[in-house]
Structure formats: structure tokens, C-alpha cells
Structure 1
Amino acid sequence: MTAEFNSRNTFRKSGVSSLSTNPRNVITSANPSGGSSASLLQKQLSFKTPICSNQFGKADEVEIIDNSNLDNLAGQYNKNNIIGWICCAPCIWLRTSAAVHKVAITSATLLVTTLLVASPILFLISTAPSPLPRDCYMDGDGCSPTVASTSECTEDICETVSSNIQARLNWNKDPCSEFKKFSCWRRKFNKNVTNIIEMGNSQKSVDIQMLMLLNNSSISENFKKLKILYESCLKLTTNSSDIHRIFNQLGGYLTVGVIGPSSIAPLVAKIYELGPSPLVDIYYDLSYGRRPHVLLIISGPSTSSVILENKIRWMSPKAPPNRLRQGIPNLLPDLIDRVLPSHLSYDQRVSEKETIIEFIKDLNKLQVEQSRRGFWDSSVLYNISSLHSMYPVLNWTLLIPKNWSGPIVVRNADYLKALQSFLTKYPSRIAHNAMLLLSVLEILPKDFPTPEVCTRSTMWALPELASALYISQYSSIDSKDIIKRADIIFKSLKAHLKRAPSLKGAALVKLSALKIQSKTWEGFTNVTQLTKSVERLQITPDNWLENILEIYKTNKIVPNKINMDFSSHDAWAYPIVSTIFYDTLSHSIVVPLSVILIPYFNARLPPYLHYASVGVSIAKEILRSITKSFDDKAMRCVPHSVNIFSNFSRMDILIHSGGMQISYHSMLSLTGPIKGMARLPGLNLTPTQIFFLVSAQELCSESNYLGIDTNATEFDHILGWLIAQGGSATEVFKCPSGSMINIQKTCNVL
């Protein structure tokens, strides 16, 4: 008791300093008990002091408590307790509020989701190579001050192609303002260059090869009839007595003063019986579907076909769709002078000639306009009486086989209606005489006989035998390799189109089902069978007209039994007709062998040459096969200078533009960086620049072959417009703002 009493007195007298030596009465963070009074206080603080109260000081801070002042101390802590509750009221609300709890959970969820989404992006950004300086290029793991040059093609074919492209370039012209003069310039003074100018034109190449084969004295016995037919063409003249004999057989020329017939329908029936008809064509084809049946088709004139076709179209290879040429036949003026009666006066002869030429020009214009509309207005009839009532322009009883009882499909109904209106504008005598001349022109060569003209005419008359002769000079191994590469190009173009955002619905379904047919018909390799099929033909070396009429008569024969099997819908091309086309019946792109045999498609050449030539041609037909809704866009986009193309409509030019766009972007997506492609030797041009140049040179070459005036100003405009649409020509040639190529970018097909 004495010691305890002494300690209390010491507290009263000495304060804090006097108790510093008594460890029992010291409460620290390391020793919270500190004696009995301190223990009681510690319990009170543990249960009554709010969480956020700041009753203790910093670590190791000391508080001295005396037992005699407990009442005062309790009052002091009650005051602190109230202050603590006021201080921590927000904390209590935050802990107990359900709304705050929900907000916290939502915020945490959003934060986690954001991290999950952003993590892959942040990873890709962090792992992407840092951009190089503008004057720095990758050279392995280092930085090179100049562009790493791509490899150069060292093959002989690369040097030949490079020389061919270079021969047509005019470096004095600016491609941004005068693209045609820059890319399709001919050096007329250098005759040696002319031989390689046409290396991109596949049809020209076919004509040259066939001309050499037909003039070969050691030609195989299997192809002797081809050679005889070719020789009979070279001997033909427009003053032939056979021409007058055909005229007389059809009713003769009606001279001035003679009353014309009441209708030309009987004359049309006679012409159809004798040879190709200048007004309509009638043939047999199959319907669509898995179980096809035979249809009788009434179509436009067969006179524009590149081959003399059979009446049964699915039992042999097919020719591309007819493409009518504007204007009059080259032989027409001379032929009129030969057949006009000699007793006519000079004025009568001039008037007669002008009237007939005017009739034929107007008829040609009508047929060209109607053919551009396609077959979207087809109609199906089931008897001849319905045909007579709807289209009375012709006597269908004389044209339709008497034993036919199946469906009759009129491919272009508007054409027949327009034809009836047209024939009423001219006297029947003029119409009669013009029909006579047109019927003879259809069995004559397309121009005055020359070796080149007669070669094309021989291929037209006997296409199957001519195709067999053409492919006989190529091995099957080489053909398989070329066909495989064509399939790869086709798949690449389809893959790019499938990613086009504007391609939807039915068009996308049609694209997915689209096929390519680049294989050669097996019948062309069976020369023995082909030879037997022409044995009955009486081909003579001195009478071209009789030879053609004999061939036409044979083609018109319809067998008693028509074979149809699972392959009836397959389409095959004539390799001698170098035109890729879309076949609606088989829903396939048909590629003739001659198109993919051009030097630009050689396997040793860089891919951009493949896409600039064959790729563009295939892409055009893919585009044509999946949609027909280009009419409005063609009228808005294509410039009026398109009229220079006598064989092409606005739609054709627009599709050509789309083909270039598709092929260009497919090339970029397939091959990766263009700088990885081999350069052509001696040609300081980038691969993308060469793509546009070769595409332009191909079109120039084809236009020259077709007789289009490529020197006309309109041709310059349309070629510049095509290049401007087909890809990124403005960037490729670095054309400034306001240049011709820059301002003519007006139309994206897709």
C-alpha cells in the first residue's frame, strides 16, 4: 500500500516525467495493457470507439493514465467518441448503402471487360515493328538508306516481254495526262517491232499459227479438207457466177419498176433453208435444271457468229455470244455493183445502191441495239399459232419443223416486234433485194480474200477440225499445267469478290456456285472420229460458195436420237476462238486454251503479268455472270466517247473497268508486298505500273484487230477513263491533283 500510495503522490507531484520509469503505467502500441486501469480503458476503446477515430497517435507515441482521474478520463473519451462518429459517418454510409454496392460491382465488371478486350490489341501494338524513318528501309535486321532492290527475272521470256512492253511506250508523254499516247505508241518506222506488238493478242496469235499450218505442204492427211477449203477461198471473187446462181435460186434481183412481194416472209424461209439467215436463227438447246429437256430457240441473226454452228448446241463445243459489228460489210458496195442489172442508168444505179446501203445500215443498227439488251425479255410459247399471233413478222410455219411439239423460246421478243415495225418503212422490193445481198454476204468471207482472211473463214466454216489441228501442236502435259494456273487465278478472283461488302444475296450465292471450264474438249484429240464426221462433205478446191452451203446443210441435220446425259450441261470452248465467255446453262466461265497460251501467262513470268492479261479477262466474265444491274451505273459513269468502240456497248466498257479493278486488287491480296515480285529486265517500272500498261496495251491490240480506230481522240478518252477506274492508277503513277487520270475516277463497279 505504501509503494502504491507513494506512486500516486509521485504522479501528483512530478507529472509525466516522474512516471517514465514505471513500465506498468505506460501504454504504447507495443504494450497496450499497461496495468489494471489501463486494461479497463483498453476494453472501453475496443468496443465503443468508432473505427475511424484517431485516439492513438503515431507509432511509439506514449499516453500516461492515472487511476485517480478515471472519471475525468471517461468524460474526455465520451467527447472523443461523438467527434469520431461525426467524422466517420460517410464511411458508414458507403459500407451500408446498397446503391453504392451495385455501382462498385458494375464499375469493377466494366473495368475487367475493358481489360479483356484491350489486352489483345495492346499486345499486337506492343509487338508490332516500329515504323522506319522515311529514308530508311529494312535490310535483314538492320536499316538501309535505300530500298532493297527486288530480284530481276533472268529468263529469256522476261527479256522478250520487256522488249514488247518497251516497244510501245513513248517516254516523251505523261501517263497522267496522255495515257494512251504513253502506253500504246507504235513505232511505225521500225518494222521489226510490229512482230512483237501483237504478242498479247491471243486471237491474232491463233490466226498466225493457223495460217502457217494451212500453208504447210506436209499437213497431215486428216486435215487435208481444211487445206482444200482454204485454197477455195483464195480463188473466190465477187464476180463469181455462183453468186448469180444463188440470187436466181432465191427469186432473183427485183429491178426498178417491178412491184415487190406483199411479204418477205417466204424469202426469209428460202434463205434459212439454203444458208445462214440475216434476220433470225432457229436452233435446239437444253432447259435448266437437273432433268433438262429440249427447247426450240428463236434468237437473233446467226450471221454474226464466229463459227458456223450446228443446230444442236449442247452436243459440241460452244462459241461465245454473238457480238454484232456496227456498219456495213466490207464487200457490200462491190457486191451491189456486180449484181445490179446492166440496163439501169447511172442515176438509177446510184439511187438503188444508196437505198440498199441505207436499209442494211438501219437494220444493223436495230440488231446491235437489241442484242445489247440481252435475253432478259425471253418468252415461252407452246404452239405455232401463238407464235403467229404474237410475232406475225415472219411465216413461222415455213421455219419451224413440222414435227416439233415442244416448248418454243423466243430469246428476244422486243427484237421481233421492232423488226416488224422496221420492215414497214421501206418498199418490199428494196427489202427483198437487200435480203438477197445479205444472204450471200453471210456465206462469203468477211473481206476480200487474202491468206489472213481465208484462214479466219476456214476456221469459221470447220471449227472442230480446225481446233483439232490447232491443239495438235501442244503436248497434254503443257496444257494441264496452264489449265491449273488458270484455275488458281479464278479462285483468287472469286475469293476477293466474296469479300466485297456490296455483294449480297443472290449475287453472292451465284458467285459461290460459279465454276471455271478451261479444259479442252476430248473430241478434239480424237482426230479419227472427227475425220469420219467430215468424210461425207464434198469439199472442192475451186468453189467456196458450194463448199459452205454443203457444210451448212450437214450442220442443219437433226439426228433421230438426241443424246442427253449428266454432262449435257457442260460447256466447252473452241480453242481457235480466243474469247472467254460466261455460259448460262452450265453457270461456268469458259476459257479457251488459246487465251491462256499467250506469252504473258507463261509460268516463268511474274504474277502481275498473269493478272493484267488473263486475270482481267476472267474477272470481266465473273462480273457479267453474277449481276445484270449495271444499266443505271453505265449511263451515269461511262463517258460518251465509248461510241468509238463499234463492238462494245456502255455495259461492256463498264464491265471491262470492273474486271480491271477486281484483277488488280486480287493481285495485291494474293501476292502480298509487290516489291517481292521479280522485275522485268531493262524496264524501270514498278509491277503495279506494268499491270496498268499491259492491260492498256492488250485493249489497244484487241481494238486494232477488230478494226477500231485507236488513233481517234475518243479512244484516248475512253482508255484514260478505264485506267482511272481500274484500281489505284492515280497513286501508282503519282498523278497530281487535276490530272486526267485523277479527275476521271468516277465509277467503282463494286
Structure 2
Amino acid sequence: MLLLLCSLSCVQIDQPDFGILLQKEQEQKLYAQILREQLTYLNRLGILLGGDPQKVQQHASWFISFTSRLFQFLRPLEQQQAQDKLFHVVTIKDLQKMAPAIDWLSCLQATFMPMSLSPTQTLVVHDLDYLRNMSQLVEEELLTSRDMIQSYMILGLVDTLSPALDSKFRKARRELRQKLWELKERPPLPASPRWMKCVESTGDFFEPTLAAMFVREVFGPSIQSAAMELFAEIKDAVIIRLKKLSWISEETLKEALNKLTKLQVEMGAPKQAWNPELAKEEYSDIQLGPTFLQSFLSCVRSLQIRKVQHFLHPFSYHRWTGSPWGVNAYYSVPDHVVVFPAGLLQPPFFHPGYPRAVNFGAVGSIMAHELLRIFYQLLLPGGCPGCDTHVLQEALLCLENHYTALSLSNMAPLNGSHTLLENSGDIGGLAIAFQAYSKKIAEHSGEMTLPNQDLNPYQLFFQSYAQVMCRELNSQDPQGSYSPPNLRVHGPLSNTPDFAKHFHCPRGTLLNPSAHCKLW
């Protein structure tokens, strides 16, 4: 089960995730193969733990059977919504009566230490029926199969801790993942080098310290100054763009400009990452050694305690949701701050020595996109009551139809309404970045180009944008609010007349349609 702090006064209990083991919607033959691989893996864990092979086989089979029975208690999300039973608000005392097999107060207290809990603590339970049925099944099995339940919990714990155990356990887990991957006819999983695992673990547990080391190495004053200068130019272009919108009202424009004035921007790393004393305080309870497992468990426990403490005592500043070495910029609505991590402000995305066309086309378009997120609310129904809704809705419908048509030409049907906001951000971001770049080279002549490429500066700008957005679509990519990568390239470029002009695209072709949408 997933346990979350959902507010200052409640704890949220979500459904368990049984993973690939019990995805029964797949064909029966594939499902049987998955179960066999899982059973082989559990047997392997039992043997590595020193168990008797015959008993291990018995306990591993019971593990699969018991998990299957638990899985039967889960109800699809749609069914819960139809029955108006998506969430239930209860106290720990109430839950103890409904599902008595678990000592809920002790378990929750241990999970959310040092948070103080009592029997009257409010819980938000995602699937109360599952917890009732689970409790009943556990109580029944405790009467006849207590040793099996103990093995079930031990095997589950060892599986969870396998990344921190002996190399034999890690190898067993890795081979299971590889076989399950192959059963689903996917390309082989690349093996992660040991150094990458070390860096990932260090980043998980000691991010402030690693962040400070990273930005000192790659985000010096010259890079920071150049990035801030680029952001200021993009922000100025956004202001000019807002003032020219045909659908925005005078009052809404005034509010929008006021929002931009109050916006905070953070680049490189969080401010607290530069404070070594803060790191010492956060890590003071970690005990390293004598084994890697003991160090790992101490780090996990310390990290969990810090998360709870941060929840109980909110920060007076914005808490980054990503790592400084990441490449994903974002806008935080609650804190009204836009974040550009140091990882994004590196080659091949950005460098002070690059031609301006490269920096504006890549990072400049991303910066503009993030600034436009501030105004997404205006595009929602009723979000801009004083605006010319007729003009706005026409532009939005044009955009939706534009992407739907593009997806059909790319043999990948897409509902343009689901990705409308991010599509508008992509198109607007590219247009604003191009506007800022055009102003820059008009004021400063002598633009550089790249050697061995027959591209003028404007062409280089658009190529830089396309290279940032273009990548292979991974089958594991979530179907969220973004269009597929090819449409994130073709959508904005085909809606930018300047692209067609500088690349001499014939009118009426895919990247130069006869009509363009004008939203931002």
C-alpha cells in the first residue's frame, strides 16, 4: 500500500501496486510465462537466503497464490467512481475495527516518524473494501499458514532491498526484469554501469551536497549571467506579445503583466544547496557503514524523516521538485516561481560561446514556454471572462484541428483537445523565442553560424528548436498532456510562417499549410 501525507491533518492510504505480476488483461499464455518467471525469481531469492530448496519452492508458490487472491480484491478505478467510493474518510480507530489484522497506529507511527499520531487521526482511504477483505484473508491465513505469511513478508522485503544487497540478489532482480521485458517483445534493457547506480543513490540521499558540487563545476558566473540575460530577453518578448493579443481585455492584460513582475526565477540549483551547514544538519542522523545495506537503510530512514519534517514545517522558500542536474524546467503555481536547472543550461542546449541562434532556439523556446504556463488559466473555459471569448475560442479550435490533422498525416491519431494547453505553449514558446532572437540580431550584427553546416542564422534557430524536441518515442512514455515528440516539432514549425519563409517550404505542404492559428 502507498502511504502519503495529504495535508496537515490527514494521511492518505492508496491501493497497493502489484506491478507486472498480475496484469491479467494480457493474453493468458503471456500471463502464465510471467508467473513462471516470477516464481523462478522467488525461488532464487529463497535459496540465496539459505532456505531448503523443497520448502522454498512451497513458500514461493504460496507467495504467488496469496498475491493473486489479494489482487482479486482490487476494484477498477471506474467502478469505484461509479459507486461513489473513490475515497473514504475514517480515523485510525475506525480503520482498526474494520481491518483488525494490522496494527494501524503502530505501523503509521513508524512510517511517519516523528509525526505524532493518535487513534483519532484522520485517514483518507482510497479503497476501504480492499483493506477489509485483505484483513479478513490475513486473519484466516494466520490460523493455518503463519510461517507462509512470514515468508511472504520476508521475500517482499528482500525484493525491495535487492538494490542494496549482495551482487547475487541484484543480478537475480536484473535478470527478472530483463526476461519480463523480453516477454513483452521490447528491446533489451541496457545495463546500467555501476558508477551510475552510485551517482543515483548519492543524488537520492545527499542531493544538497551533490547539487553544490555539480553547479560549482558546471554553472559558473559566466554561464549564469548569460542564462539570466537570455531569460530577460525572453521575458521582454512575452510582455510585447501579451500587449498585442487580440482577445485579451485591458484588465486581464494588466493582471498578466503584474504577474510577470512578481514572478521569481531560480537557475542552476536551489539557494539552500549552496549552504554547507544546512547539509550537515540534514545528514547528522545518518550512520554510514559498516555494510552498504546498513548505510542504505540509515539513508532511507533519514530521508523519510526529513520528508515528514519538511511537511510538518513548510519551507519559507520554494522547494525544488527536480534535481539541479536534471533538464526539465517547470513553473510552480503555488510559489509563483519558474525553475531552470543547471542540467538544462549546458551543452547541447545552451552555452555562452554558442551562436545566439542555438541558445534562443533551444533554451529560449523552453523559457518562453514556461512563462506562458502562468497564463494557461486564461485558455480554460471561463478563465478569461473579460476577454473576447469568440476570438479566443476560434483560435483554440484552430489549434486543436491543426494538431488533429497533423497526427493523421503522421499515421498517429491524436485527440488535440487533450494536449491543447501544452501545444499552445510549444507554439507560443517558439514564436516568442523567434521574436526575441530577431530583435537581438537586429540590434547586434555579426551573428555566428556553425561550421560545416549550410544554414543561415534563422535556419539554425529553427534547427536548434527541433533538435531539442525531437527524440524517439518510448513505449514507456506516459500519455499525458504533451503531444508525441514528432508533433512537438511539426506542430509549432508548421504554424510559424517565418520557418516556411527561411526554409522555402511550398505553400500547402505539411510544414507550410494554407492557414495558421494565432493564439499567443
TM-score (structure 2 length as normaliser): 0.57
Structure 2 gaps of 5+ residues are 18-25, 27-33, 47-55, 82-86, 139-148, 165-172, 175-190, 382-395, 479-483
Q: 1:562 to 1:671 in 2, by over 3 A?
A: same
Q: Write the letter of the residue equivalent to 2:429.
A: G
Aligned counterparts, 1:698-737, within 5 A: 698-700=468-470, 716=486, 719-725=489-495, 728-737=498-507
Question: Alignment partner of 2:450: what SS?
Answer: coil
Question: Alignment partner of 1:596: what SS?
Answer: coil
| Number of the residue aligned with 2:462 | 692
Deviation at 1:652, TM superposition (A): 4.0
Q: Write the letter of the residue equivalent to 1:459.
A: G
| Number of the residue aligned with 1:339 | 42
Q: Write the letter of the residue equivalent to 1:549.
A: L
Q: Deviation per CA, 1:304-355, whole angstroms, max 9, x where unpaired? A: xxxxxxxxxxxxxxxxxxxxxxx9xxx9996664226853799x89997997
Asked whether 1:627 is paired with 2:376, we answer yes
Contact 2:403–2:487 under 8 Å retained in 1:
no
Contact 2:349–2:468 under 8 Å retained in 1:
no
| Number of the residue aligned with 1:461 | 205
Counterpart CA distance in 2 for 1:722 and 1:301 is 40
Counterpart CA distance in 2 for 1:745 and 1:333 is 56
Structure 1 gaps of 5+ residues are 1-267, 269-278, 285-293, 304-326, 371-378, 709-713
Q: 1:511 to 1:478 in 2, by over 3 A?
A: closer
Question: Alignment partner of 2:511: what SS?
Answer: helix
Counterpart CA distance in 2 for 1:428 and 1:498 is 61
Deviation at 1:592, TM superposition (A): 1.5
| Number of the residue aligned with 1:596 | 345
Deviation at 1:459, TM superposition (A): 1.8
Counterpart CA distance in 2 for 1:300 and 1:498 is 43
Contact 1:737–1:743 under 8 Å retained in 2:
yes
Deviation at 1:731, TM superposition (A): 2.4
Q: Write the letter of the residue equivalent to 1:469.
A: M
Q: 1:659 to 1:523 in 2, by over 3 A?
A: same
Q: Write the letter of the residue equivalent to 2:264.
A: K
Counterpart CA distance in 1 for 2:90 and 2:162 is 29
Aligned counterparts, 1:415-430, within 5 A: none
Q: 1:495 to 1:561 in 2, by over 3 A?
A: closer
| Number of the residue aligned with 1:617 | 366
| Number of the residue aligned with 1:742 | 512
Counterpart CA distance in 2 for 1:698 and 1:437 is 41
Match of 1:677 among 418, 423, 447: 447
Contact 2:471–2:485 under 8 Å retained in 1:
no
Contact 1:623–1:655 under 8 Å retained in 2:
yes
Counterpart CA distance in 2 for 1:575 and 1:384 is 39
Deviation at 1:541, TM superposition (A): 7.8
Q: 1:420 to 1:449 in 2, by over 3 A?
A: farther
Aligned counterparts, 1:652-663, within 5 A: 652-663=422-433
Deviation at 1:590, TM superposition (A): 1.3
Q: Deviation per CA, 1:649-686, whole angstroms, max 9, x where unpaired? A: 66545533332233223323444389863333332212
Question: Alignment partner of 1:668: what SS?
Answer: helix
Counterpart CA distance in 2 for 1:384 and 1:338 is 38
Deviation at 1:517, TM superposition (A): 1.8
Contact 1:443–1:548 under 8 Å retained in 2:
no
Counterpart CA distance in 1 for 2:57 and 2:499 is 63
Q: Write the letter of the residue equivalent to 1:584.
A: V
| Number of the residue aligned with 1:554 | 302
Contact 1:674–1:688 under 8 Å retained in 2:
no
| Number of the residue aligned with 2:259 | 510
Q: 1:464 to 1:715 in 2, by over 3 A?
A: closer
Aligned counterparts, 1:76-87, within 5 A: none
| Number of the residue aligned with 1:373 | none
| Number of the residue aligned with 1:287 | none
Counterpart CA distance in 1 for 2:297 and 2:215 is 27
Question: Alignment partner of 1:282: what SS?
Answer: strand
Q: 1:637 to 1:736 in 2, by over 3 A?
A: closer
Q: 1:511 to 1:396 in 2, by over 3 A?
A: farther
Contact 1:281–1:301 under 8 Å retained in 2:
no
Contact 2:90–2:122 under 8 Å retained in 1:
no
The number of equivalent residue pairs is 403
Counterpart CA distance in 2 for 1:299 and 1:670 is 53
Question: Alignment partner of 2:238: what SS?
Answer: helix
Contact 1:577–1:594 under 8 Å retained in 2:
yes
Q: Write the letter of the residue equivalent to 2:41.
A: R
| Number of the residue aligned with 2:330 | 581
Deviation at 1:569, TM superposition (A): 3.1
Deviation at 1:283, TM superposition (A): 6.6
Q: 1:509 to 1:600 in 2, by over 3 A?
A: same
Aligned counterparts, 1:61-76, within 5 A: none
Contact 1:537–1:550 under 8 Å retained in 2:
yes
Counterpart CA distance in 1 for 2:336 and 2:227 is 18
Q: 1:507 to 1:454 in 2, by over 3 A?
A: same
Deviation at 1:591, TM superposition (A): 1.6
| Number of the residue aligned with 2:53 | none
Asked whether 1:498 is paired with 2:248, we answer no
| Number of the residue aligned with 1:450 | 193
Contact 2:376–2:421 under 8 Å retained in 1:
no
Q: Write the letter of the residue equivalent to 1:681.
A: P
Question: CA RMSD for the aligned pairs?
Answer: 5.8
Q: 1:561 to 1:704 in 2, by over 3 A?
A: closer
Q: 1:427 to 1:594 in 2, by over 3 A?
A: same
Contact 1:517–1:589 under 8 Å retained in 2:
yes
Q: Give the number of the structure with larger relative contact order, counting CA–CA contacts within 8 Å between residues 6 or more apart.
A: 1
Counterpart CA distance in 2 for 1:343 and 1:687 is 67
TM-score (structure 1 length as normaliser): 0.42
Deviation at 1:589, TM superposition (A): 0.4
